[in-house]
Amino acid sequence: MAQQVLEMRGITKSFPGVKALDGVDISVRAGEVHAICGENGAGKSTLMKVLSGVHPHGSYGGEIRFEGEPCAFKDIRASERRGIVIIHQELALVPQLSIAENIFLGNERARRGVISWSNTLVETERLLRRVNLGDERPGTRISELGVGKQQLVEIAKALAKRVKLLILDEPTAALNDTDARKLLKLIGEFRDQGISCVLISHKLGEVLQVADSVTVLRDGRSIDTLTVRESPGEPARVSEDQLIQRMVGRELDQYFPARTPYTGERAGQVALTVRDWTVRHPVDTGRRVVDSVSFEVRHGEILGIAGLMGAGRTELAMSLFGRSWGRFERGSVELHGREISTRTVAEAVGHGIAYVTEDRKTYGLNLIDTISRNISLAALPRMARRGLVDAHDERRVAERARTSMNIKAPTVFEQVGRLSGGNQQKVVLSQWINTEPQVLILDEPTRGIDVGAKSEIYAVIDQLAARGKAVVVISSELSELLGLCDRIATMAFGRLTGVLDRTDATQEGLMRLLTRTELPEVSGISDENGEG
């Protein structure tokens, strides 16, 4: 059996009011892929921040041994000098700088204090080939790359630091299926080269595909470590159900809720109609990113929108919600058959339309403010008296959301930035539910959160539809759309390529529509007979 390259014993870490880690043990063998799974708030990221020196020695309890020697990292540079490199879920690249500049930022190839650009470019080309980006020029700006390639640049940056243990925190959360498969294949190649990897992921299928062993954390404790396979290529010995049961401490018999039909007075009535919606790229104005898209969603219906990266899904949602993306060319929005203006976010909210962004940390939340203040932000006019926010009403609404959404926090005055990803997602969802919308657009509502939190959010979405809300769900996970939605619209190259009822939809059928190159005229609007 391979020797242990990493041992963490009895790791404890506390924050004000919260014990994030409570005696966690984990061991990683040399040249293995070791996954860490657990619900949001289980302590996965905190454990890796302890290991990498983000939380310095002295701020936690327990012992860390790397390559048989005790470690006391005072900062992230100290851990990197030993060959431990962490790639966080939020990429740490500078968009305005080139690939080469990003790879060696803070780790410059210099002689007598002067950067050697010839060495930098040669080394960059070598690293790019190693991560299967050999067709990219070292001088290309990061802003010109897609998210999948940016992730590979981050890995090349880690390789430049002579990495021995590579920590990847949710590396495929923002990737489409194709880019995710490429990244997982690369992780397998690193294992073959003797590089140990620690993989934090909520995508259990990916964990079982690539990991050799997995440690499950729950409530800050290490629950179990399971051997997935003895050697690469063997079938997994562990099932997703086994991992889920250990992660949440219970079996999720009904992962997706049984649909509760809406039977109110508006049942079957069209809530929102979008016609011929066309938007050009904000910089490359010759390119239509959303091209002649038409669809409708009814009260009590959940409409899914599927598309590969670059299909125009988020651009469609943001341009509908206050035209907050791109250059509007043409199109109309109707609410209950009457044309409305959504030229600004305030107008869209005023008409009863809400949008939960895919990027909760940049566009959805104020991370340095409290749960209570964040939940009230989108509905301040309703909570104000003579221009002043009613603090009692604000707290009452926040407490109700904390209970109904099962937001795990000691009080509603907890800073949102201290919450786990799943609990942050519940806060931003509560924020827009608080506006009492008629139409709710959810963009990647479960990205980067665990199976337990996903199940809870699915239940909330079902409850919203059962109350008569018209819900649009944009998701990169086809299984999520198939399990949750009544109809699924597909997009490719900014165009609508099909609309399928859930009874007719399969993953294979959806993928055919998502990769369609010949784009017919497709409308998601019913004809005179009521058929889409």
Same domain, 49 and 117: no
Give how far Cα 29 sits from Cα of 5, 7, 207, Å.
5, 9, 17
Q: What is the pLDDT of residue 532?
A: 45
Mark whether 510 and 526 lie in a shared domain: yes
Q: Which of 393, 412, 436 is the last residue of a domain?
A: 436
| Of the residues 392, 410, 436, the one at which a domain ends | 436
CATH code for position 311: 3.40.50.300
Does residue 200 share a domain with residue 114?
A: no
* Pair 516, 481 in one domain: yes
Domain count, the chain: 4
In the block, which residue shows the tokens 């921040």? 49
Per-position pLDDT tens, the chain of length 532? 568 899 999 999 988 767 889 999 999 999 999 999 987 678 888 999 999 999 999 999 999 999 999 999 999 999 999 999 988 877 788 999 999 999 998 888 888 788 888 899 999 999 999 888 888 899 999 988 877 788 889 888 888 888 899 998 888 876 767 778 888 888 888 898 889 999 998 788 889 999 999 999 988 899 999 999 988 778 889 988 888 888 877 555 567 888 888 999 999 999 999 999 999 988 777 889 999 999 999 999 999 999 876 789 999 999 999 988 889 999 999 999 999 999 999 999 999 999 999 888 888 899 999 999 999 988 888 887 777 888 888 999 999 999 988 898 889 999 998 888 888 999 999 999 999 999 999 999 988 777 777 888 999 999 999 999 999 999 988 888 999 999 999 998 899 999 999 899 988 888 888 876 555 556 677 654 444 4
Pairing mode of beta strands 439-443, 470-474 = parallel
User: CA 459, CA 409: separation in Å to the nearest integer?
Assistant: 20
- Do the domain assignments include residue 259? no
Q: What is the pLDDT of residue 373?
A: 93
User: Would you say residue 48 lies in a domain?
Assistant: yes
DSSP 141: B
Same domain for 243 and 174? yes
Cβ atoms of 284 and 293 within 8 Å: the answer is no
Kindly state whether residues 442 and 531 are assigned to the same domain: yes
Query: Domain for residue 260, yes or no?
Result: no
> Is 313 in the same domain as 348?
yes
Q: What is the pTM of this model?
A: 0.67
- Could you tell me if residue 255 is inside a domain? no
Residue 254 domain flag: no
Of 391, 419, 436, which closes a domain? 436
Q: Does residue 466 share a domain with residue 411? A: no
Is residue 263 in some structural domain?
no
Amino acid (one-letter) located at 254? Q
Residues 446 and 429 in one domain: no
Do 461 and 518 fall within a single domain?
Answer: yes
Assess if residue 358 is contained within a domain: no
Cα separation, 428 vs 425, in Å, equals: 5
- Which amino acid is located at 391 in the chain? A
Asked if residue 61 belongs to a domain, the reply is yes
Cα distance between the two ends of the chain: 59
Could you please report the per-residue DSSP string of 401-460?
Answer: HHHHTT---SSTTSBGGGS-HHHHHHHHHHHHHTT--SEEEEESTTTT--HHHHHHHHHH
Question: Tell me, what's the pLDDT at 19?
Answer: 84
Is 455 in the same domain as 376? Answer: no
- Torsion, Cα 413 426 41 60, to 10 degrees, reads -30
Structural domain boundaries enclosing 151: 96-162
CA 358, 482, 507 angle in degrees (round to 5)? 100
Q: Which two tokens stand for residue 473?
A: 């769900």
The residues, ordered by sequence, that sit 6+ positions from 520 with a Cβ below 8 Å of its Cβ are 497
Same domain assignment for residues 291 and 150 = no
